Chains A and B, each alone.
Chain A
Amino acid sequence: MNQVPYDRVKIARDSSRPTGVDYIKNIFKGFIELHGDRRFSDDPAIVGGLAVLNGIPATVIAIEKGHTAKERAARNFGAPGPEGYRKALRLMKQAEKFGRPIICFVDTSGANCGIGAEERGQGQAIAENLMEMTTLCVPIISILIGEGGSGGALALAVADRVWMLQNAVYSVISPEGCASILWKDSAKAETAAASLKLTAEDAKSFGVIEKIISENDIGTVDFYDRIRALLLEEIAELSVDPDLINKRYDRFRRIGVDAIKHQAEVL
């Protein structure tokens, strides 16, 4: 396959790919959606609730983009606002209270970029999730199924395990945004995509993710069965780990340390 990183971006954005709700419906049983952030509204870009994973009650949260043009507009194109992140945090705290594992499906080009989102504290909402997720005392597994766009994706991915689909991308900024800032030319997105090192292989090499999930059978029963088996295996291990929170801290603590030079070495 003669793929360049930007091809991955295009695949990750393809509207025919399974979306968050497809994963919830096919991996779990008996999904009961729980709406609203109890503060302002119910964000359609984030779907969350209770579901059963082979007999285990779990809290599942997914960013939902929708498939058709109509669905995508109704889901705000999978760009969550502060209400979405606050709903997610409410459900995660509920999971902690009742001792349920948390599974997140992440797929967003980024947090909602709008006047209302800023007025209601988009930055604060993301910050609060990052901070609170670091000490939730139940297992958290996040799977990037399409686009992992910056802080808006990370706000559901401060987890014990982070996995990526083979063609998912994870980046600090969109390739278009990067190209427009650095070279004042969003057409250079292809170059930016290569520079940003946003593929699943890159993320794994940085220690940002643990596992890459093959997409050869994406959308089939086998595909979802495989993810269910991976989740069960991992949850069984994490559920009995007495040092879960410290290990989660260390997981993020070490990232970037290798990128630092100390003066003594430089001279």
Chain B
Amino acid sequence: MALLNFLKPKNQLEEGGRTAAPVQQDAGEPEKKCPNCHKDIPISRLAANNLVCSCGYHFRMKARQRLHMIADKGTFCELYADMKSGNPLDFSGYSEKLESVRKISDEEEAVICGIAKIGKQKCCIFVMESTFMMGSMGSVVGEKITLLFEYATEHHLPVVGFTVSGGARMQEGLLSLMQMAKTSAAVKRHSDAGLLYIAMLTDPTTGGVTASFAMEADIILAEPSATIGFAGARVIEQTTKKALPKGFQTSEFVMEHGFIDGIYHRNNQKKLLTILLRMHNGGKGNESSTL
């Protein structure tokens, strides 16, 4: 799409679109090693560039940071924040695990839902949290996503969702599996109401989340080099005893095979979402849109 050419990822730090002034490097500043270019990058420089290295490597980002990056300042209003997982199967160690990840992640669950404005356009938004049991979907994640789509359907709002997930949460057994059907049903109602759903898949999006709401959006986008797939690469290698092709299950691989619409550098995502929402009249169907 020629119109969107200017949004193509540019790997230089300065050309990303949302960069702060260059930060002076101070000798004592903490650094992080980039797993791609192996350079040590000052944390402040990474933070100023939405956690993207100058080589283009996208570090994982906390859900609240992402909301800060995507939502217009001061517009995010969180929904369903009071929900916590119980231990419905009395699964050994799960309650303790939940307690510890609540501390590690500083979140109550693996998804944050709410209403926000992106480029002055109101939408429902969900962002998954990788530090909470790798964004796995149990009853709470399924319920919050479902409630959000139901809210969006009722209020004629588009949904923008950022996925990151290892899949269904084992410790809630069948109840987790059923959340795939439950969320899919809510996405379908939202879609049948003529409303827009945009998914941005981030590293990693796998298993039961790939096999449900991540792959059900009208427009499916991804961050560069994110792992996107259904079965785990290690499991596939062990099962098939075959070497995996180069770049297997990366965003680029999945796009080449026709399953996502585009790959966008983090610094360009807000601009793109703004344009997409505008082209769909703020995501509302059945009304004529004027750009």
Contacts and interface: CB of A to CB of B under 8 A. Distances in A.
Contacts of B208: 150-151, 172
Contact of A262 (B84, B169, B181, B248): B84
A113 B231 contact: yes
B236 to A, nearest CB: 5
Q: Report, as a range, how many residues of chain A touch the other chain.
A: 35 or more
B272 interface: no
Contact of B176 (A120, A128, A172): A172
A196 B89 CA distance: 7
A62 B79 CA distance: 41
A199 to B, nearest CB: 10
A181 B170 CA distance: 10
Interface string B127-154: 0000000000011101100100000000
B184 A121 contact: no
B159 to A, nearest CB: 14
A195 B176 contact: no
Contact of B230 (A118, A172, A264): A118
A150 B240 contact: no
Interface of B: 81-86, 88-89, 91-93, 108, 138-140, 142-143, 146, 168-170, 172-182, 184-185, 187-189, 191-192, 206-208, 210-216, 229-231, 235-236, 239-240, 242, 244-245, 248-249, 257-259
Given A131-B184, A150-B208, A151-B207, 12 more contacts: A123-B206, A127-B214, A128-B215, A130-B180, A130-B185, A196-B174, A203-B174, A256-B88, A259-B88, A259-B140, A261-B83, A263-B82
27 contacts: A113-B239, A123-B210, A124-B259, A126-B230, A127-B212, A127-B213, A130-B184, A130-B212, A131-B185, A135-B188, A151-B180, A154-B181, A171-B174, A172-B168, A172-B170, A172-B177, A181-B170, A196-B174, A248-B185, A249-B185, A255-B178, A259-B172, A260-B86, A260-B143, A263-B83, A263-B108, A266-B84
